[in-house]
Structure 1
Amino acid sequence: MNTPITPWLKLAIPFVLPALLAAVSLHATEPFETRKPTRELQTQLLEVNPNWSERMPDQSALASLRSVDDEVALIQTHFRLVLDQLMAANVDDLTESQSEERARNIERLREYTLAGVFPQNVFVAGRRPVFIDPWGTHCAVGHLIATSGHPQLARLIDREHRLDVLGRIETDGLTEWQLASGLRVQELALIQPHYEFRNNSQTIQYPTEVESLILGDSAEILEALKSGKLTVNNRCGGKTLLHFAAASGDLELVKHLVDLGADLHAVSTRGCDESEIAKGGRYKRFEVRWNASTEVTPGKRYADGGRVYETVQGSFVADVLQDFFGGMVGKNALHYATAEPRMAKLGHSKHLYYSNGFQHRIGNRDASTNPLDSLKEGRAAVATWLQEQGLSEGGLE
């Protein structure tokens, strides 16, 4: 039996139905690739700071943005959206001095965003705030506090509440700073990002002989040369044995390789290119192989960084070799003996705890000693000897 249409519904249909059809049509014609990244970006923003749940920008503000895989770009996107809200906020209730300081803090945050240098969460899995990381990099709120003339307050907050959200920080002096800053508590809470755990995001594996050399033991290389398993002309990840020996600061091995006929002229080739690196996805596993290109495959999010990254010396030498970037092109042994390490893309290496005079306890290690001293002395000795043989970074003179 058909249900009769009530009179009021008959009157409403001519007005309601076109509106419903227009709404459905608008959503249906919106490209999926436009809508999907917006939803993904919203999820990413909520991971960076849960306070976005109450302050999420509308669709029009996010329409031109895309979800991002790079952590730095994601944090910068977060800050740019925060800056938009700070600039649009009604601040009629602020005093003149508060308004002036607010403007200065907004400019400080803008410069901080552009610089793109953010703290590293090497403490806990998942995402957590990090007020100041072990290398002295301040979070955004810590940066605003320190650069507005209160670096001691920033350090005190870090000692008492390094991994806490702003609402749990009770350090004396913070409330007074906030009142003078021109920024509301809710705004500061929105500024404060949660940083992704990035200590073990890439894994690299070398042949055992090379790994031992990077870690400071040349015995396996010498045995492989003696047995004929290796020759001085073998390459690994585009580098010769002489390159590895120079990077590791092993002068005796460098001399031995030259005596065996190693080519002082030899320069490195790339182990793999960006297209190969991209095959690994966000979390990568690198296998650096003898006489073949480096193989890159998907890795585990929190997998171990690899045997060479378990020690301070190993991480320094591995960062000099740059195999996480596919290696280097056209570099000779002198370059490897003198090159500064290039930090892996996803996380800080252990050797940075000892860089630039900063010493930090790792496990039970005596923080008063620097395990890089002997390595750097060895590398300097290698560089001097290579120069005495007439080698320059541009080749033999």
Structure 2
Amino acid sequence: MIHAKQLIQRVVLIVLPALLFAASARADMAANTDPTPSLYQRLCQLNPYWSDETPDFTVIANVGDLDDEVSLIQSHFALVIQRLKSADVEHLSESQREQRIDKIQRLHDYMTNGMFPKNTFVAGRRPVFIDPWGTHCAVGHLIATSGHQELANLINHQHRLDVLADIKTEGLVEWQIASGLTMNELALIQPHYAFRLFSQTIKYPSEIESLILGDSAAVMQALKTGKLTVESRCGGKTLLHFAAAGGDLELVKHLIEQGADLNAVSTLGCDETAIAKGGKHADFEVRWDAPTLVTKGRYSTLLGPVYKTVVGSFVADVLQDLYGGIDGKNALEYATATPRSPKNRVPLYRAGRVGYGLGDSANELLESLTQGRADVAQWLQQQGLK
């Protein structure tokens, strides 16, 4: 009969070497394949399911700076996609396999696009199914883009900040089964987003501010006095670009009559490096014939005068100066571009989309702006612009 002391000694002799070997193997993996010592820990913070997984870091061996939140999330998705592609799917039906392939491709496209929800709700990291700007999380995106936007909206209403395991919305299980993905795989996909408190304010020259708000009188006067020319640029854009974005056909025609270059394309007002200098609370000054100036400011709930009206916020978001502007866009593209909302505010023109509702007058202004932009686009196309 084996005494207790002898039994303990035997267990130690058997188990301890195994534990040491496992620890050594994990250390070797971290040293040899993990390009950033803290990457695994950050992945576990991004999604706790990684704590039970061993990521294949060779998948992201060539990824650059992972200190950036977007790059970290993209790396997470790259690792997830690799696991999804290598999983055994023999038990799935043909339909489920087809749907699974489709969802993996959609996830890849979502990863590449790099537009992820913003956690402005709670401190730390939490899932955000759909943020106030309408940006879906990865799982929400897969649901919505497969023809089930109503289901995504319902989940967001009932479980916006919940992990997938806690989501009990009717219809989710049925969608999951048809998708060819398991609940555990969907849970691994779902990131937890870091809390971000930041603000931006933007200031334009008075002539451009008035033009964005729908009044071209100041620009016309500046052209008449010679203060401005048809070639003047503000934030990398010509007056023709601003007029097209705002749907001002009369001004567009006047500028062309005065010799404006129909084919002129925009340049960046500033790049990401300049924007980064503004920090969490950045002040943007869009200037005539000079780069946009970005400086550190104080937290503010106000974006600037152009964002006080429905029309102004729409046109400003088409111009995208809070992102440094857009490179290589012509007037027709400004007349047809989709607005990109700022990082820290749900714009007025999207208020109805998130449940606050727009008044009749605001809707009429938006309809008028939309029609004006369409008229400008049609006229520019008639002039041969593509």
Alignment of 1:250 with 2:243, yes or no, is no
Larger Rg: 1
Match for residue 373 of structure 1?
367
SS of aligned partner of 1:157: helix
Deviation, structure 1 residue 330: 7.8
Match for residue 121 of structure 2?
124
Match for residue 306 of structure 2?
308
Rounded to whole Å, the distance in 2 between the matches of 1:378 and 1:181 is 43
Matched to 1:295, the amino acid is L
Match for residue 276 of structure 2?
281
Verify the 8 A CA contact 2:127 2:160 in the aligned structure 1: yes
Deviation, structure 1 residue 207: 1.4
Per-residue CA shift, 1:353-379, capped at 9, x if unaligned?
39xxxx525755238936421112233
Equivalent residues in 2 for 1:163-242, closer than 5 Å: 163-174=161-172, 185-195=183-193, 204-221=202-219, 228=225, 230-233=227-230, 234-242=232-240
Tell me, which stretches of 5 or more residues in structure 2 are unaligned?
A: 1-23
Verify the 8 A CA contact 2:132 2:354 in the aligned structure 1: no
Matched to 1:350, the amino acid is P
Match for residue 159 of structure 1?
157
Equivalent residues in 2 for 1:236-385, closer than 5 Å: 236-254=234-252, 262-265=258-261, 268=264, 270-272=266-268, 276-281=271-276, 286-297=284-295, 305-323=303-321, 324-329=323-328, 331=330, 335=332, 338-341=335-338, 343=340, 350=347, 353=350, 360=353, 363=356, 365-366=358-359, 369=363, 371-382=365-376
Q: What CA RMSD, in Å, does the superposition of the two structures yield over aligned residues?
A: 5.0
Pick closer, same or farther for the CA change 1:150–1:251 going to 2, 3 Å: closer
Match for residue 114 of structure 1?
108
Per-residue CA shift, 1:198-246, capped at 9, x if unaligned?
89676543213312220223354456567x5833344323434344234
Rounded to whole Å, the distance in 2 between the matches of 1:143 and 1:272 is 30
Alignment TM-score, normalising by the size of structure 1: 0.64
Verify the 8 A CA contact 1:156 1:171 in the aligned structure 2: yes
Identity of aligned residues (%): 46
Pick closer, same or farther for the CA change 1:135–1:107 going to 2, 3 Å: farther
Verify the 8 A CA contact 1:166 1:189 in the aligned structure 2: yes
Rounded to whole Å, the distance in 1 between the matches of 2:310 and 2:153 is 26
Bigger mean CA deviation after superposition, 46-55 or 106-115: 46-55
Rounded to whole Å, the distance in 1 between the matches of 2:192 and 2:169 is 20
Rounded to whole Å, the distance in 1 between the matches of 2:59 and 2:310 is 45
Matched to 1:124, the amino acid is F
Tell me, which stretches of 5 or more residues in structure 1 are unaligned?
A: 1-22
Per-residue CA shift, 1:93-116, capped at 9, x if unaligned?
xx945x878755653442122212
Matched to 1:37, the amino acid is T
SS of aligned partner of 1:37: coil
Matched to 2:107, the amino acid is T
Alignment TM-score, normalising by the size of structure 2: 0.65
SS of aligned partner of 1:188: helix
Per-residue CA shift, 1:72-124, capped at 9, x if unaligned?
54333212322444566789xxx945x87875565344212221256533763
Rounded to whole Å, the distance in 2 between the matches of 1:211 and 1:60 is 50
Verify the 8 A CA contact 2:269 2:286 in the aligned structure 1: no
Rounded to whole Å, the distance in 1 between the matches of 2:379 and 2:88 is 67
Pick closer, same or farther for the CA change 1:341–1:177 going to 2, 3 Å: closer
When the two structures are aligned, how many residues end up with a matched partner? 350
Rounded to whole Å, the distance in 2 between the matches of 1:188 and 1:217 is 50
Verify the 8 A CA contact 1:214 1:248 in the aligned structure 2: yes
Match for residue 393 of structure 1?
385
Verify the 8 A CA contact 2:349 2:366 in the aligned structure 1: no
Pick closer, same or farther for the CA change 1:88–1:221 going to 2, 3 Å: closer
Match for residue 4 of structure 1?
none
Pick closer, same or farther for the CA change 1:175–1:307 going to 2, 3 Å: same
Rounded to whole Å, the distance in 2 between the matches of 1:157 and 1:337 is 35
